[in-house]
Structure 1
Amino acid sequence: MSPTFSPENEPRRLAEDAATVAEQMQDLGTVFSLHMQKFAQEHGERTRKAWLDMQPLFGGFSDAAKQGRILDDAKEYIRDASERTVLTLDVLRERGNADVAHQAAGTPPVLIYDYEIVMDAHDFERPANYMLLKIKPAEGVEVFDWKRPYMIIDPRAGHGAGIGGFKADSQVGVALHNGHPVYFVAFRPMPEPGQTMADVMRAEAEFVAEIRRRHPDAPKPIIVGNCQGGWATLVLAAANPDISGPLVINGAPVATWSGRRGENPMRYNGGLLGGIVPALLAADLGGGVFDGVNLVSNFEQLNPSRNFFGKYYDLFVDPTKGRERFLEFEKWWGGYHFMNEAEIRWIVEQIFIGNKLSRGEARIEHGRNLDLKAIRSPIIVFASYGDNITPPQQALNWIVDTYADEHEIKIRGQRIIYMIHDSVGHLGIFVSSSIAKKEHTEVTSTMKTIEALSPGLYEMHIDKQIGDGVDAEFQVSFTERKLTDLERIDDNRDEERDFAAVARLSELGAELYDLTLRPLIQASVTEKSAEILRKTNSSRVQRQIFSDQNPLMKPVAELAQKTAQQRKKADPANPFLALEKFWAASVEQSMDMIRDMRDAAYEATFFGIYGSPMMKRIGEPQAFQRVHRTAKELRFLPEVQAILLGVERGGFEEAVIRMLILLAESRHEVRRDRLERSSHVLSSNEPFASLGPERRAALIREQAVIVEFEHDRAIDTLPLLLKTREEREKAIKVTEFIAGSVEEMEPHTIQSLQRFHAALGLSGLALPKATPDPLTEATAKRALA
């Protein structure tokens, strides 16, 4: 904290200001250097490729001129381009008509699956515009009520619902293929009057409860949250700790101040666009409703060459071939939805500008704080380095902000698994068929074993593929990690202090707006003016102007039909086609160059403003980190002390679980086959099967705490848990069965097993190739009896 201003403190403050200015200049230099390096590398390579492409391009024209067919090629190209123009216009006409029809139908989810509405939150005591859908499997796909159900929460971030299941190879498709019942959380375009994020959270909690009522014999549901649905899932689980089924969080921005310099320009929007005031103004002009098209526009601006030119040029290249794919995606992309002012305000203040959810300061409603430590569910986080909307730092740094270290994660009995893809983009996390066939498939198949993991932080690796196509299998491992491993994903978090001033100024701006302009704006807005504003939005107009609502487009359908019948593609060797592609590539690169220069100026402006000494002082009240307990304090938590008093108490179940945790600690990596054996023993074989999932989870947590704080005593007291030689031999055999073949064991694993033998007074480890499951026969006999 800077000293209070006074004459005697002035030298010290001046010294601090000079250091801050020096740091600011260093940050600006780093920003410019990173952007220039990126600019030179990317555009240098693209320019070099363009020069190389020019040689065959000129050669093609030279050959055509020598053969005297340059005019014929030109005529052929003009005819071909004209035909493609007509066919492209017809596809755009179809898109416009599809938008009109989709809106007229109430913008239903764009799922390719049939479904039934299970619950509608419109009828709840506190209504919300959310619905719970049960997905009907396709013909030939069988699901089982006893299998763990899935509940998929799609993002409500401007678009409508359905992206998690609008392809056969999708999150929905993968879960159905594995026999799991699938439920989908969808929403109508308009929120209910007075709806808040707390109402949405309560509705989703009711949905989970209903799924559990429908599947009493199945394990607790897996909740999958995509993007906005990801942090909504964390809010749901933090506010309802009884929801303890696994959570899968895909591409969800939680630690929103995080990111790397030179890479993530979207996080600067709050500081450069006026904080929360633009969102409040947009909601007021919309009659108390925030138009999601504004969020979609932000996404489009991140990659304007793709969104405003590239995807249309790809369609123009071959309108017939690209038609179906283009219309499929555009149906979801154009399904704009809305939020109440209270909802968008909560999202901006608590997450995107305030960063309060990550720092443990968020409130879902008055008097109800949200602490992510309260979540009891195993959490799997999926991020990607290719995601420019939710970079890995924003998807993962909340873990660093929430827990003191990886030991606290263990002590609290939590399991957090993360996986980072090398290149897939934000939407690809939910949409890509290749991701569905690999990453989502493996996450789904791993869910049945995830709860057998010892508490801790893990990175999930898909090590290698065995086989191809639908028969492909993947070797999966879980490597134990430390919070310092997550910190290394980021370049430096020092710049996050600059966002504290943004948060404070945003709060002050909101207060000033509430007291001055807001009453005047709200008094001048009518329902009619709000509707006109929505309909005249450029994103909607540029779609509908190509529909049949525009009289000029009506002849296009007939013309396109005739063109398709007479269509004759130009010769692929036509040099004018090569010139067209060269031109298109130059347009895209020019747009990308402008974008990159804009991003560099954007980031430099942010640090130029908010890195100044004055802004540092303004942000001081908000520039805090969550206070964490030390390792010593964690040991003396009442619940930890109660567990440690039981180090000498227990029986066969406690002893086996303790030895498995000790083995996992010695390995630091768990392969899925070992995890599957552990899960099978702990969930299917007696005496573990009778424990039930809640008691089993409690035992795993208790023994993890004992191993964490009393490692040596945990081993030395094993004889007190296993009193007879028969029990000791059986417990060792179960442990060796799960550990697997000795050829696959690491030296630490063998040493741990030998120490167990010594502590229990048994002969040394015989080092067998494989040990059969010693509990299977006993369980079978008990079942027959």
Structure 2
Amino acid sequence: MNPLMPSLSPAALSWLDPFGFGRAAFDYWRDAVERSTLYLDVMRQRGNQYLEHIEQTKPNVLGFESEVVIDGRELSRPVNYELMRILPPDGVETDPLMRPFVVVDPRAGHGPGIGGFKPDSEIGVALRAGHPCYFIGFLPYPEPGQTVEDVVEAEVAFLRHVISLHPDTAEKPMVVGNCQAGWQIMMAAALEPDVFGPILIAGAPLSYWAGERGYAPMRYTGGMSGGTWMTSLLSDLGAGLFDGAWLVQNFERLNPANTWWDKQYALYSRVDTEARRYLDFERWWGGHVVLGGQEIQYIVDNLFVGNRLSTAQLVTADGRRIDLRNLRSPVVVFCSRGDDITPPPQALGWVRDLYEDTDDVIANEQTIVYCVHDTTGHLGIFVSGSVSRKEHAEFTANMDYIDVLPPGLYETTISRAEDRPDAELIERDYLLEFQPRSVEELDREIQHRPDDDRRFATVARISEINLGLYRRFLQPWVRALATPESAHWMRLMHPNRMGYRLLSDRNPLMVPVPVLADMVREDRHAVGEDNVFRALERVASSQISHGLDAWRELRDRSTERLFLDVYGQPLLQALVGLGGDAHAHRRRPGAEPEHRRFVARRREEIRAKVAEGGSHEAVMRSVIHVLGGAPATDGRNFQRLRASRAELEPDITLADFKHLVREQFFILENDPEAALAAIPHLLEGLDAEAIDAHLEHIEHVLAASGELSEHAAQRFERIRALFEHSKPATTDSPTGAPASDTGGSAPPASASEAPGAVPEPATTKPANRRGRSRKASPRRRTPSKADD
């Protein structure tokens, strides 16, 4: 019996309370007291866990065993980062010949390890796919004098070492950067593009001025605080160190309903089952780290307020310009409309900032793939198990295909295989499709507004003025008064840190809590969800949450309105030097003369290769031409094409295959008519049987995606006509006149049949390998050896 609760006999209760309301009230009251005791005990455990975690030399929430490969503190320019090799768990084997997979952890105020926090994380998905995995994490305190550029150079050094550990792997490492780590690895890839394979950035802000009005409150923070001078003030008060708890507090302020009520009520209402999950998350959320004053000032000045990354205005200390157009690896951008920290415009706006149109993307030989989730929040993008099992699993499984996608801009959609009419053609549970997009179509997601650019440019100018005034008049005094001891006590007294300490065992008032919690667990009296007072509790909780949401919406709308009104004043803009209407506040970086010469030289090289090659080039060119006219494509074509290509040339590598695909794409892009007209020349010397085999192979590859669209079918018929026209003539007719080996007469002489001309496309749809029209089978077929 629980000594905290009095007891009455059931008979007495029935006589006193014939309708059961009193009994329900008593049961609810007893359950509420017990839940409150258990809740307080969980908070005590949270506090103890926090203290134990921050007192570790290398705190980490990484859910996998690992070993340190390189300690960044031992580099020539020391940093508090380290490269770790992930040790596969029992029952999981990795192939050292597969592409290495590197996850870079975000350093945005919280502790390290979130990229491998759960078994169903980015690392877990890659391990199960057989990839050797590495993790770039960090330590709680920066090295003296450490800068953002030092960290970028360290990450480049880490990747070079990973490449050296896999000398027999032709593919460069796939690199994943979450949140802050995303823009950091993009900077590294812009400086050293040769060490990067495909890049996946999840929830990473790159275009900081972008955002849809009403849905991006965080972008107004710099303007409402008068610029970045407060960052410098907090760093000076911290004796050169910036407490990451301030960044965490900014995140929490975005959603007060979740911070102040929903998260805590979820624990309280299900305290018997929710404690473990809550404590696991809080171990990371409360693991505040420290950033160097130089680092955070560089970030807020150049990125958050200055927006210099997406417009190629950043220059390193040794004079190198950080231009994201230098990337040569495919970039996959994963974002969500439910993310209020990095909304899609901030994750995708850099494409519009850098490239004028899709032709500009192609001219830079860049492949950009983006996926916009509808609902998941910021952390859910790289923590949610459901997202990792679907989006991240599909990205990992299709990364080789993404690596050979022709340059351009693509949007991905993920559909469940069983919901599709061509389910029998799909080997996995989900299908990742790629829809070609234009910069104009992307702009509908970004919702760029030039008048907002002028406002944010005004903020940047005012920030520079206020920072200069602070450094001139206040900074000497603040630095003279701040000491390492005062900085230490300031961090201890931060409200986010104090909340953990006050509810730990170091508070004498918490001594009886574990004893009472154990007594409750021994004799727990939980009430069912059908209890009327429990239902009223849920209603009250919902009203509190909705009230906080309403207050947040009012706050955000008021902040946005104030920002737009203040920084939209023409007089203020003129006072900071932005009065001219012709001033470009977000100027698209122009092409360097060297880049223009490179593009011109590349076009000449491609033009000279139109008629170079043989049947393999003809087949690849044909497939690209047909798929280029389709509304979407996916990895099934790639798997079939690569498998059959390997049969023809067993020693083919992915790098060679990628080169072939891209060369043929550029040839078609540069002059499609000349490229198609050259196909008969590429097939010269082949007999009719070999040409038929190649044509059948093309048809087999195209059949992987189901029925072709009408436009793609017309393109295929044009290819068929070109292959038929390439067959050598025979002299089997009685008159000795040449006839085609298909039994028909020779093509009539016409302008379309002149040397180098392309036959007119037919309008019939292609047949499958047995000559029948391709239709979806009602049953899932068993993959054949040909499919492998």
Number of corresponding residues: 709
Counterpart CA distance in 2 for 1:491 and 1:64 is 68
For 2:497 and 2:15, locate their aligned partners in 1 and report how far apart those are by CA, in whole Å. Answer: 45
Q: What runs of 5+ residues in structure 1 fail to find an aligned partner? A: 1-62, 781-785
Asked whether the 8 Å contact 1:635–1:709 carries over to 2, the reply is no
Deviations 1:534-587 (A, max 9, x none): 111010001110001111112211111111112112354433322322222222
Q: Which amino acid aligns with 1:640?
A: R
Alignment check: 8 A CA contact 2:200 2:331 kept = yes
Distance 1:501 1:649 in 2: 55
Matched, 1:280 2:232: yes
1:755 aligns with 2:727: no
CA distance in 1, matches of 2:156, 2:59: 22
| Partner Cα distance (2:415, 2:19) in 1 | 57
Secondary structure of the residue aligned to 1:137 is coil
Alignment of 1:488 onto 2:450:
no
Task: Give the residue type in structure 2 aligned to 1:176.
Answer: L
In structure 1, the residue matched to 2:311 is 359
1:376 to 2:328 alignment: yes
| Structure exhibiting the larger radius of gyration computed from Cα positions | 2
Is the aligned partner of 1:452 residue 2:404? yes
Taking the aligned partners of 1:771 and 1:636, their CA distance within structure 2 comes to 45
Match for 1:535 among 469, 492, 513? 492
Q: Cα offset for 1:694?
A: 4.3
How far the C-alpha of 1:103 sits from its partner, in A, is: 1.1
Change (3 A) 1:283 1:359: same
Paired residue for 2:502, among 522, 537, 545?
545
Q: 1:278 to 1:718 in 2, by over 3 A?
A: same
Deviations along 1:646-685, one digit per CA (max 9) or x if unpaired, are 3333344443333232222221411321122233345x34
1:161 shift after superposition: 1.4
Q: Which moved more, 1:499-508 or 1:370-379?
A: 499-508
Q: Identify the residue that residue 525 of structure 1 maps to in structure 2.
A: 482
Q: Secondary structure at the match of 1:667?
A: coil
> Sequence identity of aligned pairs in percent?
38
Stretch moving more, 299-308 or 563-572 = 563-572
Distance 1:510 1:694 in 2: 49
Shift of 1:627: 4.2
Alpha-carbon distance in structure 1 between the residues aligned to 2:213 and 2:228: 23
1-structure distance, mates of 2:398, 2:342? 24
- Deviation per residue, 1:159-178 (Å, 9 max, x gap): 11111211111111111111
Distance 1:138 1:742 in 2: 36
Further displaced range: 74-83 or 518-527: 74-83
Asked if structure 2 preserves the Cα contact closer than 8 Å seen for 1:449 and 1:679, the reply is: no
Whether the 8 Å contact between 2:363 and 2:599 is mirrored in structure 1 is no
Residue aligning to 2:56: 105
Question: Which residue of the other structure, out of 438, 447, 454, is the alignment partner of 1:497?
Answer: 454
CA RMSD, 1 decimal:
2.8
Matches within 5 A, 1:266-305: 266-305=218-257
Counterpart for residue 769 of structure 2: 770
Q: What SS does the aligned partner of 1:152 have? A: strand
User: What is the distance in 2 between the residues matched to 1:742 and 1:158?
Assistant: 45
Q: Does 1:475 align with 2:436?
A: no
Residue in structure 2 matching 1:196, options 134, 147, 153: 147
Q: 1:596 to 1:107 in 2, by over 3 A?
A: farther
Q: Is the 1:457–1:482 contact (alpha carbons within 8 Å) kept by the matching residues of 2?
A: yes
Contact kept? 1:247, 1:380, Cα under 8 Å: yes
350, 366, 372: which one aligns with 1:414: 366
Counterparts in 2 of 1:636 and 1:286: CA distance versus 1, 3 Å: closer
| SS of equivalent residue, structure 1 residue 113 | coil
Q: Is the 8 A contact 1:171 1:436 kept in 2?
A: yes
**Pairwise mapping of residues 690-701 of structure 1 onto structure 2 (< 5 A)?**
690=651, 692-701=653-662
Cα 1:652–1:512 shift into 2, 3 Å: farther
1:175 is aligned to 2:126: yes
Q: How far apart, in 2, do the equivalents of 1:463 and 1:573 lie?
A: 38
1:348 positional shift: 1.1
CA contact (8 A) 1:305 1:591 kept: yes
Cα separation, 2, equivalents of 1:253 and 1:233: 12
Equivalent of 2:262 in 302, 306, 310 = 310
CA positional deviation for 1:210: 1.5
Whole-Å separation in 1 of the counterparts to 2:364 and 2:16 = 77
> SS at 1:725's partner residue?
coil
Distance in 1 (CA, whole Å) between partners of 2:560 and 2:140 is 34
Higher alpha-carbon deviation: 756-765 or 294-303? 756-765
What's the counterpart of residue 738 of structure 1? Answer: 701
Give the AA of the match of 1:546: L
The 8 Å contact of residues 279 and 344 in structure 1, kept in 2 or not, is answered as yes
CA distance in 2, matches of 1:573, 1:746: 54
The whole-number CA distance in structure 2 between the counterparts of 1:446 and 1:90 is: 46
Residue 126 in structure 1 maps to residue 77 in structure 2: yes
CA drift at 1:221: 1.1
Contact (CA 8 Å) 1:127, 1:192: kept in 2 or not? yes
Residues 725-750 of structure 1: CA distance to partner in whole angstroms, max 9, x if unpaired?
A: 24755654443332226962223333
Q: Could you tell me which of 654, 669, 674 is aligned with 2:637?
A: 674
Residue of structure 2 in register with 1:725 after alignment: 686
Instruction: Give yes or no for contact 1:164–1:430 (8 Å, CA) kept in 2.
Output: yes
Partner-residue secondary structure (3-state), 2:465: helix
Return the TM-score normalized by structure 1.
0.85
Q: Which amino acid aligns with 1:704?
A: F
2:601 aligns with 638
Judge which range, 269-278 or 750-759, deviates more. 750-759
How far apart are residue 66 of structure 1 and its match? 7.8
Aligned partners of 2:125 and 2:392 also within 8 Å: yes
* 1:36-47 aligned within 5 A: none
Structure 1 counterpart of 2:95, from 130, 144, 148: 144
2:585 aligns to what? 623
Q: Contact 1:156 / 1:229 at 8 angstroms: preserved in 2?
A: yes
Q: Which runs of 5+ in 2 are unaligned?
A: 1-13, 421-426, 728-741, 743-761, 772-783
Whole-angstrom distance in 2 between the partners of 1:437 and 1:581:
31
CA distance in 2 between partners of 1:170 and 1:64 (Å): 57
Cα shift at 1:356: 1.0
Check 1:557–1:777 CA distance in 2 against 1; reply closer, same or farther (3 A cut). closer
Deviations 1:227-255 (A, max 9, x none): 11111121111111102411111111111
In structure 2, do the counterparts of structure 1 residues 289 and 701 end up closer, same or farther at CA, with 3 Å as the change threshold? same
Matched residue type, 1:225: G
Could you say if the C-alpha distance between residues 72 and 690 of structure 1 is closer, same or farther in structure 2, counting changes exceeding 3 Å? closer
**Residues 376, 414 of structure 1: 8 Å contact kept:** yes
Could you give the per-residue CA deviations for residues 471-525 of structure 1, whole angstroms, max 9, x where no partner exists?
A: 9611221111111111111344232331111112112222222222112211211
TM-score, scaled relative to structure 2 = 0.85
1:708 aligns with 2:669: yes
Q: Which moved more, 1:114-123 or 1:361-370?
A: 361-370
SS in structure 1 opposite 2:334? strand
Of 472-481 and 490-499, deviating more is: 490-499
Query: Partners in 1 of 2:172 and 2:545 — Cα distance?
Result: 48
Once residues 747 and 586 of structure 1 are traced to their aligned partners in structure 2, the CA distance between those partners, rounded to angstroms, is: 54
Deviation at 1:183, TM superposition (A): 0.8
Runs of 4+ in 1 over 6 A off after TM superposition: 63-66, 632-636, 763-766
Structure 2 partner of 1:95: 46
- Structure 1 letter corresponding to 2:121: S
Cα distance change on mapping 1:754 and 1:69 into 2, 3 Å: closer
* Higher normalized helix content (fraction of residues): 1
* Residue 659, structure 1, aligned to residue 622, structure 2: yes
Pair 1:758–1:465, CA change in 2 (3 A): closer
Any idea what SS the aligned residue of 1:117 has? strand
Instruction: Give the secondary-structure state (helix, strand or coil) at the position aligned to 1:523.
Output: helix
Amino acid at match of 1:123: E
Letter in 2 for 1:483: V
SS of the residue aligned with 2:511?
Answer: helix
- Structure-2 separation of matches of 1:681 and 1:427: 41
**CA–CA separation in structure 1 for the residues paired with 2:591 and 2:709:** 34
Q: Which moved more, 1:78-87 or 1:371-380?
A: 78-87
Within 5 Å, which residues of 2 pair with 1:155-234? Answer: 155-218=106-169, 219-234=171-186
